[in-house]
């Protein structure tokens, strides 16, 4: 006998052990799955919500007559959880018809389920027989004989079954024939010769079989035998209650369309996706308000056969469509059928709400931009017209959306609510925190995406899918596309709304972003104006909303070049912080192809452009208002672009369905304690969402609440106003070229302070140069860069001239600054402006406006770019949101600790300190680097002399030595510098023609 070696024995033992472990693992997994399947019916029955009958009321206002008999009409009062409602009027016959229909559907479902079960069992038995035959084939040599034997047995079994059936049939036939014969003998008087018992037995058996069959059929119906027999003995109201309870407790009642229609219970209400006031079936058609009323004017005729007001009555019925209409607290939702959960259209109430009803029982419900035509044409719907009109009117009057809001905004003022212990709904609170610069903003947005459970809305001017939101080295794959994809895999619905750019002028490449982001459960829509006259206007919002409870709003795009912190580095330090085109400088080289992931700048020679931005995070009811703005824009863009017709419509969901306990942890987060801080603590504030939208951008009437809010806050300010913005192009009263009046509000407020001899000051921070590539040269006056500079300088100099005419010194009431920093590249000192991209307004350390709107006509007039901002007011006299944000920004500007800053921003000491720091920093930068723009350059000749004959040099015209820079740059404090108001003062910067021959002056203002 050959001896097995020890390694072979160990290997065999190891293999057998692995096989045993694998079998145990498979067995354990199978048992777990079986246990979960056994629990699933229990869970489904436990979690299923069933309507409960509260009461049955007699409706005396409705009388129905059927077949000459007057029927009493009833209304059922039902309740399901927190939702309660009343059905439409019905009578007992209609109820019984629905009951029978529901029971038929239930029986059909059970039969289909039994048939499917039998088919599965048969397929399983066939597989077992096939397996047995294969096993016998391997075991028995003479398999043909065995198969013949099996075949004979199966045939014998089939013959026996057939014989049994034939015998039973013959017995039944004999019983019936004998009964008939017996009845014939009785009729002929021949009964005396036959035994009664012998004849009665078969008849009795047949009668018992018939009764048993009848009882079985009756038992299968939805009306049990007892209820059916007692139906006539009860009063009619009791019968209605009994049948309604039987209907509601049916296992399949809520899967039946007829039952849901009868109960006025849509699936959106049942599953909690809609807060319903009233719902039912109707015929409707939605119109744009302007198109509808224009068409109504065109239909006026003066011909015989038309109505007295000369309107045609023969059109309008053919394209009415049957829909399921749901009246909500915030508007009207239209569903394809009662069984749908996602609406096909959502119409929000607004301040322009109105309702009309004509003689033909057609109802017109009007909003600012929409008209909904409702018709109840059939006889059973005519009685609903009055109830629907009353319900819509009362709901709209009770909604805060139909009342005039402050600043003409679509959203009401949101006050902080009293917190409840263990409150799980963020809708009841109203909290906010500020976030400074892109590094902190991207991180907070990424954390919010990871916490999402239901829905994410993203609105952006430009979005780059491969932007990493976390850059601490240990976050793994933190690209935006990966985070959104992971959220979609968790069941979160992601809706991204992009601006569809004009390719010749903007390199956003939204088509590529759509391709990169699209995947199951991620929906990307691109939208722009259809009309040539508006194609230069854009969607400029930067909004992220998570679960309609947490929102981010500000001026920061989810794009390359925006990631930065308070250090504002000009070089790639630490290495790898900015990948590819993320290391950019829009003044040096604009991004031409965002798909390119390679560098566009020489990191050893060219400095990056530092980016300064401010965002705001909202938690609670204001976040829900931002969600409504997203829903309105999403639905409008979807309607205008047919290729997105299959995408789901947006809808504001009830609080109970969007509960996300993970967001509760955010409200307990502390603020950043570093200096300067990157984000503040969560604070209770009073807020209001304001925006700039129009017909093309949101399908709404022109709303310019952002412009109104900024002007009113400036005019009503008491002591101090602080402004950071990317642009400042505004006009005085009488200026026909610029439409917004922000500078007029500033002028009037300063003039008031000067007249009353009161202390007042406005501080503004702007970019030193627009982030547009191109050299500052006389030969380049037709570029967008020079055009924006022209209007910005025109605004500031007009304000200075008008104040001087009134005898007021501008520096006493108004000061404007820029931001600049320095660093080293390849051991050489360099400087670069810090590009101010934030859009904020702080008033008296109590009011704040944070958003995406620039101070120009594009952002403020409403019919141009779409914008969204938030107005915040602190609720206490202690340091709140506005004061904390001002201290954080001053700390960065001045290089001081917030504790070193004076509490009073208008104090003469603080103002003189700011002016001195800015003056010193400006002088150092000009002496070392000869930077542009500069107050010392007033003509093109001065510029040519400073350039030294080089026509297209950069913005820094001198390269200092390392020793010289080491002696002077440490004296620079903070980032603040003076804004050069006298740069090219004696030259006219107006271009002789527009860039590319296609842009209008309005495109840059």
- Using DSSP, state whether 115 is helix, strand or coil: helix
φ/ψ of 300, rounded to 5, equals: -75, 130
Contact between residue 584 and residue 561 where contact means Cβ atoms under 8 Å apart: yes
pLDDT over 50 at 215, yes or no: no
Residue 441 DSSP symbol = H
Which residue has better confidence, 286 or 220? Answer: 286
Superfamily of the domain at 686-1004: Endonuclease Chain A (3.30.870.10)
pLDDT of residue 102: 79
Which residue has better confidence, 195 or 634? Answer: 634
- Distance, CA of 568 to CA of 109 (rounded, Å): 68
Q: CA 273, 546, 353: angle at the middle one, nearest 5?
A: 55
What residue spans define the domains of the chain?
Answer: 1-48, 52-226, 282-404, 427-666, 686-1004
Which residue has better confidence, 87 or 200? Answer: 87
- Using DSSP, state whether 415 is helix, strand or coil: coil
Kindly state the average pLDDT of the residues 657-662: 75
pLDDT of residue 29: 53
- Distance, CA of 522 to CA of 491 (rounded, Å): 10
Of all helices (H) and strands (E), which one includes residue 291? Answer: helix 289-298
- The pLDDT tens digits of the residues spanning 12-53 come to 665 666 555 555 555 555 555 444 444 443 334 344 567 888
**686-1004 has the same fold as 427-666:** yes
Kindly state the average pLDDT of the residues 177-184: 58
Contact between residue 152 and residue 158 where contact means Cβ atoms under 8 Å apart: no
pLDDT of residue 42: 36
Which residue has better confidence, 193 or 432? Answer: 432
Kindly state the average pLDDT of the residues 633-655: 84
- Distance, CA of 488 to CA of 490 (rounded, Å): 5
pLDDT over 50 at 316, yes or no: no
Kindly state the average pLDDT of the residues 163-180: 62
pLDDT over 90 at 979, yes or no: yes
pLDDT over 60 at 890, yes or no: yes
pLDDT of residue 968: 93
Q: Which of 503, 669, 533 is nearest to 593 (CA)?
A: 503
Kindly state the average pLDDT of the residues 605-628: 94
pLDDT of residue 617: 96
Domain 427-666 -> CATH class: alpha beta
- Distance, CA of 438 to CA of 562 (rounded, Å): 6
Q: Which of 683, 627, 682 is nearest to 655 (CA)?
A: 627
- Distance, CA of 429 to CA of 751 (rounded, Å): 40
- Using DSSP, state whether 739 is helix, strand or coil: coil
- The pLDDT tens digits of the residues spanning 921-931 come to 999 999 999 99
- The pLDDT tens digits of the residues spanning 693-743 come to 998 898 888 999 999 999 999 999 999 999 999 999 999 988 888 999 999
- Distance, CA of 842 to CA of 763 (rounded, Å): 10
Determine what percent of the chain is predicted with pLDDT higher than 90: 37
Domain 282-404 -> CATH class: mainly beta
- Distance, CA of 866 to CA of 853 (rounded, Å): 9
pLDDT of residue 219: 39
Q: CA 977, 980, 983: angle at the middle one, nearest 5?
A: 155
- Distance, CA of 704 to CA of 742 (rounded, Å): 13
Contact between residue 863 and residue 694 where contact means Cβ atoms under 8 Å apart: yes
Out of 133-147, 230-244, 298-312, 327-341, least confident range: 298-312
The confidence band for 216, taking pLDDT boundaries of 50, 70 and 90, is very low
Contact between residue 622 and residue 427 where contact means Cβ atoms under 8 Å apart: no
pLDDT over 50 at 768, yes or no: yes
- The pLDDT tens digits of the residues spanning 555-598 come to 999 999 999 999 999 998 878 788 888 899 998 888 778 888 88
Mean predicted lDDT score pLDDT of the chain:
80
The confidence band for 7, taking pLDDT boundaries of 50, 70 and 90, is low
Q: Please report, in angstroms and rounded to a whole number, the separation of the first and last CA atoms in the chain.
A: 100
Which residues, 6+ apart, have CB-to-CB distance to 276 below 8 Å? Answer: 83, 85, 266, 268, 269, 326, 327, 328
Which residues, 6+ apart, have CB-to-CB distance to 445 below 8 Å? Answer: 469, 544, 552, 558
Left if phi > 0, otherwise alpha if psi is -120 to 50, otherwise beta: which for 525? Answer: beta
Which residue has better confidence, 715 or 428? Answer: 715
Residue 407 DSSP symbol = G
pLDDT of residue 50: 77
Question: Any idea how long the chain is?
Answer: 1005
pLDDT of residue 359: 65
pLDDT over 70 at 383, yes or no: no
pLDDT of residue 998: 42
Kindly state the average pLDDT of the residues 940-955: 76
For residue 356, what are the CA distances in angstroms to 353, 367, 382, 390, 701? 10, 12, 16, 11, 20
Contact between residue 818 and residue 978 where contact means Cβ atoms under 8 Å apart: yes
The confidence band for 63, taking pLDDT boundaries of 50, 70 and 90, is low
Highest mean pLDDT among 165-179, 500-514, 529-543, 761-775: 761-775
- Distance, CA of 946 to CA of 980 (rounded, Å): 16
- Distance, CA of 945 to CA of 939 (rounded, Å): 10
pLDDT over 70 at 122, yes or no: yes
Q: Which of 693, 669, 664 is nearest to 680 (CA)?
A: 669
- The pLDDT tens digits of the residues spanning 547-566 come to 999 999 999 999 999 999 99
- Distance, CA of 231 to CA of 537 (rounded, Å): 70
- The pLDDT tens digits of the residues spanning 459-471 come to 999 999 999 999 8
Which residues, 6+ apart, have CB-to-CB distance to 375 below 8 Å? Answer: 282, 283, 284, 317, 320, 361, 362, 363
User: What is the distance of C-alpha 215 from the center of its chain?
Assistant: 56
The confidence band for 199, taking pLDDT boundaries of 50, 70 and 90, is very low
State the CB neighbour count (10 A cutoff) for residue 387.
Answer: 16
pLDDT over 80 at 68, yes or no: no
- Using DSSP, state whether 357 is helix, strand or coil: strand
- Distance, CA of 247 to CA of 95 (rounded, Å): 9
pLDDT of residue 139: 61
pLDDT of residue 162: 67
Left if phi > 0, otherwise alpha if psi is -120 to 50, otherwise beta: which for 774? Answer: left
pLDDT over 60 at 423, yes or no: no
Contact between residue 485 and residue 450 where contact means Cβ atoms under 8 Å apart: no
Determine what percent of the chain is predicted with pLDDT higher than 70: 75
Q: Parallel, antiparallel, or unpaired: how do β-strands 835-836 and 611-612 relate? A: parallel
Left if phi > 0, otherwise alpha if psi is -120 to 50, otherwise beta: which for 885? Answer: alpha
Q: List the beta bridge partners of residue 65.
A: 70
The confidence band for 1002, taking pLDDT boundaries of 50, 70 and 90, is low
State the CB neighbour count (10 A cutoff) for residue 511.
Answer: 14
- The pLDDT tens digits of the residues spanning 729-744 come to 999 988 888 999 999 9
- The pLDDT tens digits of the residues spanning 501-546 come to 887 678 788 899 999 999 999 999 999 877 655 678 899 999 999 9
- Distance, CA of 140 to CA of 710 (rounded, Å): 95
Q: Which of 133, 134, 173, 135 is nearest to 154 (CA)?
A: 133
For the packed helices 196-220 and 143-188, what is the interaxial angle rounded to 10 degrees? 120
User: What is the distance of C-alpha 297 from the center of its chain?
Assistant: 37
Q: Which of 33, 31, 90, 5 is nearest to 56 (CA)?
A: 90
pLDDT of residue 342: 81
pLDDT of residue 95: 83
pLDDT over 70 at 818, yes or no: yes
- Distance, CA of 657 to CA of 272 (rounded, Å): 6
């Amino acid at each position: 006998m050959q001896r097995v070696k020890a390694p072979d024995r160990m290997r065999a033992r190891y293999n057998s052990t692995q096989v045993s472990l694998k079998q145990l693992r498979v067995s354990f997994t199978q048992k777990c799955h079986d246990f979960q399947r056994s629990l699933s019916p229990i869970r489904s029955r436990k979690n299923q919500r069933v309507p409960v009958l509260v009461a049955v009321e007699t409706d005396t206002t409705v009388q129905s007559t059927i077949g000459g008999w007057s029927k009493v009409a009833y209304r059922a009062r039902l309740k399901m959880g927190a939702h309660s409602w009343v059905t439409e009027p019905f009578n007992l016959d209609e109820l019984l018809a629905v009951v029978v229909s529901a029971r038929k559907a239930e029986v059909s479902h059970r039969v289909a389920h039994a048939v499917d079960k039998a088919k599965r069992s048969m397929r399983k038995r066939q597989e077992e027989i096939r397996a047995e035959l294969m096993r016998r084939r391997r075991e028995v040599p003479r398999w043909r004989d065995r198969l013949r034997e099996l075949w004979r047995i199966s045939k014998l079994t089939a013959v026996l079954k057939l014989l049994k059936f034939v015998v039973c049939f013959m017995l039944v036939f004999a019983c019936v024939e004998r009964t008939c014969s017996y009845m014939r003998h009785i009729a002929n008087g021949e009964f005396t010769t036959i035994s009664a018992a012998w004849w009665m037995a078969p008849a009795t058996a047949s009668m018992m079989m018939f009764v048993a069959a009848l009882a079985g059929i009756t038992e299968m119906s939805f009306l049990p035998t007892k209820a059916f027999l007692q139906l006539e003995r009860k009063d009619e109201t009791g019968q209605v209650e009994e049948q309604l309870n039987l209907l509601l407790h049916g296992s399949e009642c809520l899967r039946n369309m007829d039952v849901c229609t009868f109960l006025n219970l849509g699936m959106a209400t049942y599953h909690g996706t809609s807060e319903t006031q009233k719902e039912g079936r109707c015929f409707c058609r939605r119109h744009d308000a302007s198109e509808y009323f224009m068409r109504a004017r065109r239909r006026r005729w003066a011909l015989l056969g038309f109505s007295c007001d000369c309107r045609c009555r023969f059109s309008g019925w053919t394209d009415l469509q049957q829909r399921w209409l749901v009246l909500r607290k915030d508007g009207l939702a239209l569903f394809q059928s009662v069984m749908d959960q996602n609406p096909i259209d959502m119409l929000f109430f607004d301040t322009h709400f109105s309702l009309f009803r004509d003689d033909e029982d057609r109802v017109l419900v009007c909003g600012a931009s929409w008209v909904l035509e409702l018709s109840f044409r059939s006889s059973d719907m005519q009685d609903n017209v009055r109830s629907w009109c009353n319900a819509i009117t009362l709901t709209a009057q009770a909604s805060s959306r139909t009342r005039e809001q402050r600043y003409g905004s679509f959203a009401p003022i949101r006050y902080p609510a009293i917190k409840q212990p263990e409150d799980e709904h963020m809708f009841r609170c109203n909290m906010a925190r500020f976030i400074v610069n892109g590094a902190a903003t991207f991180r907070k947005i990424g954390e919010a995406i990871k916490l999402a459970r239901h829905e994410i809305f993203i609105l952006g001017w430009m979005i780059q899918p491969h932007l990493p939101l976390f850059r601490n080295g240990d976050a793994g794959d933190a690209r935006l596309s990966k985070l959104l994809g992971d959220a979609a895999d968790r069941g979160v619905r992601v809706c991204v709304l992009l601006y569809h750019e004009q390719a010749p002028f903007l390199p956003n490449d939204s088509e590529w972003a759509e391709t990169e982001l699209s995947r199951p459960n991620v929906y990307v829509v691109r939208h722009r104006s259809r009309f040539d006259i508006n194609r230069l206007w854009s969607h400029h919002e930067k909004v992220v909303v998570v679960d309609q409870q947490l929102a981010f709003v500000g001026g920061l795009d989810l794009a390359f070049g925006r990631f930065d912190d308070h250090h504002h580095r000009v070089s790639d330090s630490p290495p790898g912080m900015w990948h590819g085109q993320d290391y950019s400088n829009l003044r040096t080289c604009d991004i031409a192809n965002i798909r390119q992931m390679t560098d566009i700048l020489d990191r050893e020679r060219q400095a990056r452009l530092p980016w300064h931005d401010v965002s705001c995070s909202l938690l609670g009811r204001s976040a829900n208002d931002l969600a409504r703005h997203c829903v309105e824009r999403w639905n409008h863009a979807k309607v205008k672009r047919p290729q997105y017709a299959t995408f789901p419509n947006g809808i504001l969901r009830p609080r109970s369905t969007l509960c996300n306990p993970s967001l509760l942890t955010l409200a307990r987060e502390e603020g950043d304690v570093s200096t300067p801080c990157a984000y503040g603590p969560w604070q209770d504030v009073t807020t209001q969402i304001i925006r700039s939208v129009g017909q093309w951008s949101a399908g709404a009437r022109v709303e310019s609440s952002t412009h109104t809010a900024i002007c009113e806050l400036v005019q009503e300010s008491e002591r101090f106003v602080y402004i950071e913005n990317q642009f400042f192009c505004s006009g005085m009263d009488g200026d026909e070229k610029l439409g917004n009046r922000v500078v007029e509000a500033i002028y009037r407020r300063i003039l008031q302070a000067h007249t009353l001899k009161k202390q007042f000051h406005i501080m503004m921070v702007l970019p030193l140069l627009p982030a547009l590539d191109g050299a500052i040269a006389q030969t380049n006056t037709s570029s967008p860069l020079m055009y924006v500079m022209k209007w910005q300088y025109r605004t500031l100099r007009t304000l200075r001239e008008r104040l001087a005419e009134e005898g007021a010194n501008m520096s006493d009431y108004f000061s404007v600054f820029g931001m600049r920093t320095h660093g080293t590249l390849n051991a050489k000192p360099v400087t670069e402006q810090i590009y101010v991209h934030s859009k904020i307004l702080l008033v008296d350390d109590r009011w704040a406006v944070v958003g995406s709107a620039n101070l120009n006509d594009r952002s403020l007039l409403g019919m141009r770019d779409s914008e969204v901002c938030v107005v915040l007011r602190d609720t206490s006299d202690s340091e709140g949101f506005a004061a904390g944000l001002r201290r954080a920004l001053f700390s960065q500007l001045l290089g001081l600790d917030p504790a070193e800053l004076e509490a009073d921003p208008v104090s003469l000491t603080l103002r003189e300190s700011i002016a001195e720091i800015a003056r010193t920093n400006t002088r150092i930068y000009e002496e070392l680097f000869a930077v542009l723009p500069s107050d010392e350059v007033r003509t093109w000749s001065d510029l040519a002399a400073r350039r030294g004959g080089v026509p297209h040099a950069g913005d820094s015209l001198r390269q200092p030595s390392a020793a010289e820079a080491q002696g002077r740059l440490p004296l620079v404090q903070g980032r603040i510098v003076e804004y050069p108001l006298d740069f090219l003062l004696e030259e006219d910067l107006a271009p002789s023609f527009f860039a590319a021959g296609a842009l209008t002056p309005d495109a840059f203002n």
